[in-house]
Amino acid sequence: MGATLLCELGLFLLCTLLCTGHVQDAVLTIEPSSSSFFIGEFVTFKCDMNEGEDTDWYYEIRKDGREFVPYNTDKYFRLEIISTRDSGEYQCSGSLVSSRHIKNSNTVSITVLDKPRATLTAATTIIPVGGSVTLTCSVQSSDGWKYEWFRRTQTTSEVQIRDQQNRDIRVSEGGIYSCRGTRGNPVYYTDRSDDVTIEITSQSRTVTFPTLLITGLLCGILLILLLLLLCYIKLLKDKSFIRTQHRINQDEAQHSQNKYLQGDACIYESIGDYDDREKAECRDFTYSLIELKNFTKKDDSLLYADATYSKAECNSNKRKSATEAGDKAVYSEIKPQETQGIFML
């Protein structure tokens, strides 16, 4: 009785499955194994029925519940991502050639993004001689990548670092580094990362507090010395200006004094008798103050003096003529000569 019931139940389930024609044991996989893809990449779909020979089945690919690839005998399908419209939910189905037996697979979600740029980061860009630094290359929002590394210097051309396809590498040489991501078949390349410059120093650049303190003190001392030097230079300039101004004032005072002496100089003239022989007989004369007269006003070198004189002691035979001459005005041509600020005649 129990065995009969089990047989009937098994037959019912088999009949149900055959009538509905759907058994969900197919498997859909994609290569590269990722949920995010970029425009220009290729995606390979594989629909595996896990039953019988591959030639016993027809395969179909659906996208978002609609037929995407019609039934054919190839369990592999390669899709080239050409736009963001290729994003969606994918599923495959298999149908036996000899019957209506159909298997449906799981769904695979694909998101299409614009072409990415690799990102290069460094733990530090300054390393001491004999040290090393870790460089990391990454591609955002995706996986399954391998990486290519490049290095160049200011004097050498760019070369690829061989045997380095990891995400992280350690370098001990200075230079300019960059990287890019690769994956898939055919190989898909991301855009190149920005350059990162690694420098080599003779010693670590770690700055300690004593170093900062000493540096600050030295800077303060230099600043004070500079201010003192500027003050000294300014003082010298001020003294030089005072001496120059004093010299100018002295020159102006001397010029004024000379001008005054030229205007008020006393001019003297030796006035003698008409005959030298008579001078020997009468030598004593009394001179009066001479007044200068300039008649022409044009030539200051030609001056005339109006003077009177009388003889004090003379011979008797000359007394009469001397008295007559004493009442006459005598004019003498005077040519002044300057000696130490006084005109001598």
Q: Is the dihedral of CA 108, 109, 114, 119 positive or negative?
A: negative
pLDDT at 138: 93
Min mean pLDDT across 5-14, 82-91, 166-175 is at 5-14
Instruction: Note the pLDDT of residue 130.
Output: 84
pLDDT band at 55 (very low <50, low <70, confident <90, very high): confident
List, in order, residues 6 or more apart from 329 with CB less than 8 Å away.
306, 307, 308
- pLDDT, position 15: 44
pLDDT at 260: 53
Q: Does residue 21 surpass a pLDDT of 50? A: no
Residue 11, CA atoms < 13 Å, CB-side half-sphere: 6
pLDDT value of residue 235: 87
pLDDT of 68 higher than 70: yes
Residue 215's φ and ψ, nearest 5 degrees, are -60, -40
Name which of 123, 205, 202 is nearest 169 in CA terms. 123
Q: What is the pLDDT of residue 207?
A: 56
Q: What DSSP state is assigned to residue 116?
A: P
Q: Which of 123-137, 164-178, 205-219 has the lowest mean pLDDT?
A: 205-219
Q: What is the pLDDT of residue 18?
A: 43
Q: Would the CA dihedral through 237, 242, 247, 249 be positive or negative?
A: positive
Higher pLDDT residue, 66 or 273? 66
| For residue 273, pLDDT beyond 90 | no
Provide CB contacts within 8 A for 254, sequence distance 6+.
none
pTM of the predicted model as reported, rounded to 2 decimal places: 0.46
User: Mean pLDDT over residues 53-72, rounded?
Assistant: 88
Model confidence pLDDT, tens digit, residues 276-322: 444 444 555 454 555 555 544 444 444 555 555 444 444 444 444 44
Handedness of CA 278, 279, 283, 287 (dihedral sign): positive
Question: Which residues are paired to 170 by β-bridges?
Answer: 134
Per DSSP, the three-state class of 56 is helix
Separation between Cα atoms, residue 32 and residue 38, nearest integer Å: 12
The band of 47, judged by pLDDT with boundaries at 50, 70 and 90, is: very high
Can you tell me the mean pLDDT for 156-181?
Answer: 90
Cβ count near 101 (within 10 Å):
19
**Confidence at residue 117, expressed as pLDDT on a 0 to 100 scale:** 92
CA–CA dist 69, 72 (Å, integer): 8
The total of other beta-carbon atoms located within 10 Å of residue 86's CB is: 19
pLDDT digits (tens, 9 = 90+) for 211-265: 888 988 999 999 999 999 999 898 888 888 888 887 888 877 777 766 655 554 4
Residues near 149 by beta carbon (within 8 Å), at least 6 away in sequence: 135, 137, 160, 161, 164, 169, 177, 178, 179
Q: What percent of the chain clears pLDDT 90, i.e. is strictly above it?
A: 34
